[in-house]
């Protein structure tokens, strides 16, 4: 049985470890064997923690043998997006700039996972500095979709979703700036939560756009997503933007009756232009909700259509500031030059890829004298207008239903030469980051070999209703597992 352990979800593995049916070592070795099998096909992990994972497993087995208590993630292998700091384990941001960087500390979310006895098995491949929607801009090569190796897994957390769905890990910790948890979850067919901004500490998350970035969980089920969320959420004195809100028992919301809840379809995002399979996924979700006694309506948020331009103006501006620290002196890729300006320019030209350089330049332009008011300031004002309209919309509903992306997973290389086409894959996902609200993405259908997913969004700090609705819908759909097709 040990060789099949990688097929089990996090909750099952934890139960088996606690009952001593299997050892933590057996669980880890099963997942490492799976990594050796599929990683050459997927390139989902930049760093694989062979020795570290086995050492963590052995330590937990010793404690279990002595009858000592273990945490709620004991025996559960987890991949960590390679933009989140891990002490003693390389953290590259998918970039040559940090190709050999080994952090001296853990991100707060990683520390909490370790305290819960989660076993870090690898670092998930990522678009360089999380700037992308396909995990094709990674310095370490593109990650591929586990369902179709000619397709992308989404981005920027493509390695996290691909490693999870392929059985290389049982949970994944990722980060969402404009859809980077939800869109890869949709393309690969797992569950991903973008929490309310401030719900999870950003300490140790290497910044792309500080007012948008949010660490969150990914799992194979809504319940397991909620479990990981319970562990990583909470106020952190090391992050001044983290919210002083109590950590709730979100797992208890899973399976709770949804009758009487109100879900509204976002009019601006569900139009005749949607591909038939995406619209069919929305309609299927609506049917399931109605049968469960949920009240369905339509809500209009006219400014939602400005989500993408608001997102890109502000995030590129913040990126130009956040990435200014990489200068070959204190941070980043080391190079040689005869004078200071040459040192800066060579370091950044060699260390950053094309997409990152483009976004830094655009952001610098938006912040420059003479253009600040016309671009950055106007985008921040528009952001406030959108937030106000969403607050108004939530007065008539508990959650808003929308697509995650305007398409299923697209082919590798299909959009790399057309930046606008790539940006538009975020057209339905950036809005939750613009407004700071939570969003839960989960699969509801399968079409021509690829998952079809939807997302639910809720008012700030109301993740409970998302888990309540998501877990109910999950019970009514039959989504295959990757390995079912091989049996």
Check: CB of residue 209 under 8 Å from CB of residue 458: no
Name the active-site residue from 134, 138, 156, 201: 156
Q: In what order do the strands lie in the sheet with 191-194?
A: 45-48, 119-124, 77-81, 171-176, 214-219, 191-194, 439-447, 450-458, 399-403, 262-266, 295-299
Helical axes 354-367 vs 307-322, angle rounded to 10°: 100
**Residue 22: exposed, middle, or buried by beta-carbon count in 10 A (0-12, 13-18, 19+)?**
middle
C-alpha distances in Å from residue 349, one per residue of 127, 134, 331, 402: 17, 22, 14, 39
- Contact yes or no for 433/214 (Cβ under 8 A): yes
**Integer Cα distance of 314 and 291 in angstroms:** 41
485: annotated active-site residue: no
4 phi, psi to nearest 5 deg? -100, 5
> What gap in Å lies between CA 195 and CA 462, rounded to an integer?
9
Cβ-based neighbour number of residue 20 at 10 Å:
10
Distance separating alpha carbons of residues 331 and 264, to the nearest angstrom: 47
- Which residues make beta-bridge pairs with 47? 123
Q: What letter does residue 247 receive in the DSSP assignment?
A: P
Estimate the crossing angle of helix 222-232 against helix 108-115, to 10 degrees: 110
Element (H, E) at 430: helix 430-435
Candidate list 23, 157, 180, 453, residue with the active-site label: 180
**Residue 191 backbone dihedrals phi, psi, to 5 degrees:** -105, 135
Question: Is 284 part of the annotated catalytic residue set?
Answer: no
81 is annotated as an active-site residue: yes
Which residue in the list 81, 112, 114, 194 is annotated as catalytic?
81
Q: What backbone phi and psi angles, to 5 degrees, belong to 155?
A: -160, 165
> CA–CA separation, 232 vs 109, rounded Å?
5
Structure tokens belonging to residue 416:
């790399």
Positions marked active-site: 81, 156, 180
């Amino acid at each position: 049985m040990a060789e099949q352990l990688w097929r089990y979800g996090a909750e099952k593995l934890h139960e088996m470890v606690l009952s001593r049916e299997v050892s933590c070592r057996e669980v880890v070795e099963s997942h490492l064997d799976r990594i050796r099998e599929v990683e050459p096909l997927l390139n989902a992990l930049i760093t694989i923690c062979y020795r570290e994972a086995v050492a963590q497993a052995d330590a937990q087995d010793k404690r279990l043998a002595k009858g000592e208590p273990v945490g709620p993630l004991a025996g559960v292998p987890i991949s960590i997006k390679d933009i989140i700091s891990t002490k003693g384990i390389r953290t590259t941001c998918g970039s040559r700039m940090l190709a050999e960087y080994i952090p001296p500390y853990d991100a707060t979310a990683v520390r909490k996972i370790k305290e819960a006895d989660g076993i870090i098995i690898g670092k998930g491949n990522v678009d360089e500095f999380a700037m992308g929607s396909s995990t094709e801009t990674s310095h370490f090569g593109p990650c591929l979709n586990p369902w179709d190796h000619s397709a992308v897994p989404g981005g920027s957390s493509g390695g996290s979703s691909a490693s999870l769905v392929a059985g290389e890990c049982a949970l994944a910790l990722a980060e969402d700036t404009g859809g980077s948890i939800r869109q890869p979850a949709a393309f690969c067919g797992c569950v991903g939560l973008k929490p309310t901004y401030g719900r999870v500490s950003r300490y140790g998350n290497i910044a792309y756009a500080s007012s948008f970035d949010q660490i969150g969980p990914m799992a194979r089920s809504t319940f397991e997503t909620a479990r990981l969320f319970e562990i990583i959420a909470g106020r952190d004195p090391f992050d001044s933007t983290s919210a002083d809100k109590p950590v709730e028992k979100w797992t208890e919301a899973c399976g709770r009756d949804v009758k009487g809840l109100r879900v509204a379809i976002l009019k601006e995002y569900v139009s005749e232009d949607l591909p038939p399979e995406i619209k069919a996924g929305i309609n299927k979700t609506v049917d399931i909700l109605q049968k469960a006694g949920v009240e369905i309506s339509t809500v209009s948020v006219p400014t939602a259509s400005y989500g993408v331009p608001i997102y890109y103006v502000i995030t590129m501006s913040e990126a130009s500031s956040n990435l200014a620290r990489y200068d070959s002196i204190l941070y980043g890729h080391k190079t040689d030059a005869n004078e200071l300006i040459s040192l800066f320019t060579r370091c950044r030209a060699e260390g950053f890829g094309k997409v990152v350089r483009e976004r830094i330049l655009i952001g610098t332009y938006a912040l420059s004298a003479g253009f600040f008011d016309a671009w950055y300031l106007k985008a921040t004002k528009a952001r406030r207008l959108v937030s106000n309209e969403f607050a108004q919309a939530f007065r008539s509903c508990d959650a808003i239903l929308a697509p995650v992306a305007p398409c299923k997973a697209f082919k590798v290389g299909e959009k790399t030469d057309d930046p606008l086409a790539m940006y538009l894959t975020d057209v339905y996902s950036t809005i939750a980051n613009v407004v700071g609200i939570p969003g839960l993405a989960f699969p509801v259908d399968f079409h021509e070999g690829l998952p079809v997913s939807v997302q639910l969004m809720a008012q700030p700090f109301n993740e409970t209703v998302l888990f309540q609705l998501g877990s109910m819908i999950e019970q009514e759909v039959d989504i295959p597992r990757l390995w079912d097709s091989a049996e």
